[in-house]
Amino acid sequence: MKLETTSLQAFLAARPVLRAWFMLSKEETLSQQVAEKTLKLLSSWANSLTEFKPQAIYTLGSLVYLDGAQFGAKSDVDLIVVLPEIPDALERVQWLEGFLKCKVNLEDELGKLLRKDRKELICSVVAVTPLEIYADLHKDGAHGFFSNNQFFDLITRKSIKGLPGAGSSLIAERLVGECVRQAQKWRNTFLAVNALGDPRVLPFDDANDAAPKPIMRHAAMVQRLEDEGDDNPGAEYDVDIGADRITVLLNERRKSLPELTRRFASRRKGRMAPEPLSSTDQLTMIELIFDAAIQVEAKSASPPAQDAPALNGMHSTVFFAQRFADAFPGVRGVVWFDDPNEIKQRLEVLLAAPLEFKDATPLWWTRGNSNLTISTFSDLGKCYLINYDELAITKVAAVNNKSYKYNFVYIEVGPLEPTGLYDSTPSRIVEVEKGEGPFTYYSEEYAIVDGKHLVTRSVYDDGSAVIGGKLQSIKGRAELRGRYVTKYNFIIAAGGASLLDQSYDSELEEHMEAMLKGEDHLKEIAEEIVRLPTGRF
């Protein structure tokens, strides 16, 4: 028996739950229709890029999740574009400049389809080399991004779990990985133009710096790598060292880049009037840094054991909240701990094995612009070992902040005795204590051979040492270490915590520097991070 329209309306009005379900189903259907039209447009666009010969173009996120049921007016479009094999930085820049015009056209077409303002940025493009996929390195540090996500191939119109080869060739050297991620991040920003072609990377004309600080810091990382770590700890963030390295990189390509070489020289207080660096200039620099970094021989990475447990999709903030509750039961707000026995008990719970899983490494340490996953933790008696850093932890603050998503643990470290391997260490310590040097903390990198012989980082990198008067190989016998010989501090949080949001890096670093000077900024940090988004993992 059919219901009349008025009867159907009365039936729905009398049943709010059923009416809500009906409306939700209708909205989901409309979202899926818009998603399908968007996918059709994207596929047509992807297949038109024959001139650029991309290896693949994928989309992900709400556009393909649940068949687009959650794709709506406020949703954006995420694309992964795999560049063709282009081994040279300058050729990659040329490719990206040409591709940028196609990106503007795509924004225009998407705006018409989705009825959005032309000033609005609709589509985010992450342009990657195959190396970045094989290393499974994402610009924001999202663990397993390329290997664990669901992607839709816009050229073949097929859905796949993980990109081909993702995670097959990991990069073990931290600074190489940082340079690779930064290049990926810069490409993403370079391509972040709307339908009007408005750029996100603006000309750089700061009177105080020769180039943007992130570019100079990553150039300094390259120098650190090329020095085989045998330089002042912290030198990898020294912008002056970075500016010197950029000068060398540009000088090597001066015939191909005469104008950029001249502009950068003018910005380094040369005789010429300083000129701004264009968005292409900045992209060129970061691609040169990318090439220099990947030329450094990286050590083999050891993936988690095959029998390691899996988080099976559990968000890192949930995992961290469970560990936090076990280690700091009853803590609300900010609570400090300075008793050595109490610190030991609580850290052993917070950082208990396993810390690495098949599908994630959920706990991270951060100081803002420097951060990394936490893979191992142990008590050495005189200090603790987190990854390969020796830390004489003196104070811990547990911060339970409004919601489990915003919890974090602040760690303060006292100085350890220098190893005696580096003649420059005593003077560097004095500089830090007087506040006269470029760094607010200092550490030594070294290695322990056979559990007892200490060697410098450069000796470790070379793989041979003179021990007991005999020159011998130390490969497989040496364990890399970092030792903080001044006060130091950092924060432990979930990898997907808002505190690790890239936009907050500089502010967090400023807070950490102030904390080293005795100021308590934990409440400020706690208040600021609730305004930031949590990460995906």
Of all residues in the chain, the percent with pLDDT exceeding 70 is 88
Q: How far apart are CA 154 and CA 217, in angstroms?
A: 36
The residues facing 365 across adjacent strands are 372, 492
Half-sphere exposure of 135 (CA within 13 A, CB side): 24
The predicted structure's pLDDT at residue 231: 55
The predicted structure's pLDDT at residue 486: 95
Q: How far apart are CA 391 and CA 483, in angstroms?
A: 7
Structure tokens at 353: 């094995």
Of all residues in the chain, the percent with pLDDT exceeding 90 is 50
**pLDDT band at residue 92 using 50, 70 and 90 as cut-offs:** very high
The predicted structure's pLDDT at residue 7: 54
Contact 172/282 with Cβ under 8 angstroms?
A: no
Contact 445/481 with Cβ under 8 angstroms?
A: yes
Q: What is the mean pLDDT of the chain?
A: 86
The predicted structure's pLDDT at residue 6: 53
Contact 412/515 with Cβ under 8 angstroms?
A: yes
* pLDDT mean over 207-230: 84
The predicted structure's pLDDT at residue 385: 96
* pLDDT mean over 108-135: 89
The predicted structure's pLDDT at residue 127: 95
The predicted structure's pLDDT at residue 134: 85
Asked whether the predicted pLDDT for residue 18 surpasses 50, the reply is no
Q: Which of 185-189, 300-304, 421-425, 510-514 has the lowest mean pLDDT?
A: 300-304
Q: How far apart are CA 342 and CA 425, in angstroms?
A: 32
Question: Could you tell me the pTM of the whole model?
Answer: 0.56
Q: Which of 75-84, 106-115, 245-254, 376-385 has the highest mean pLDDT?
A: 376-385
| pLDDT (tens digit per residue) in 445-495 | 899 999 899 999 888 878 899 998 999 999 889 998 999 999 999 999 998
Q: In a 3-state reduction of DSSP, which class is residue 289?
A: helix
DSSP secondary structure string for all residues of 175-195? HHHHHHHHHHHHHHHHT---T
The predicted structure's pLDDT at residue 514: 94
| pLDDT (tens digit per residue) in 490-537 | 999 998 899 988 788 889 999 999 999 999 999 999 999 999 887 655
Asked whether the predicted pLDDT for residue 397 surpasses 60, the reply is yes
* pLDDT mean over 14-30: 46
The predicted structure's pLDDT at residue 13: 53
**pLDDT band at residue 1 using 50, 70 and 90 as cut-offs:** very low
Asked whether the predicted pLDDT for residue 19 surpasses 50, the reply is no
Asked whether the predicted pLDDT for residue 381 surpasses 60, the reply is yes
The predicted structure's pLDDT at residue 295: 80
At how many degrees (to 10) do helices 279-294 and 239-252 cross?
90
Asked whether the predicted pLDDT for residue 302 surpasses 50, the reply is no
| pLDDT (tens digit per residue) in 101-121 | 999 999 999 888 888 888 999
Please name which of 61, 183, 71 lies closest in space to residue 128, comparing C-alpha atoms: 183
Q: How far apart are CA 388 and CA 283, in angstroms?
A: 33
**pLDDT band at residue 68 using 50, 70 and 90 as cut-offs:** low
Asked whether the predicted pLDDT for residue 238 surpasses 90, the reply is no
**pLDDT band at residue 372 using 50, 70 and 90 as cut-offs:** confident
Q: How far apart are the first and last CA of the chain?
A: 51
The predicted structure's pLDDT at residue 62: 74
Residue 22 has phi, psi (to 5 degrees) of -65, -45
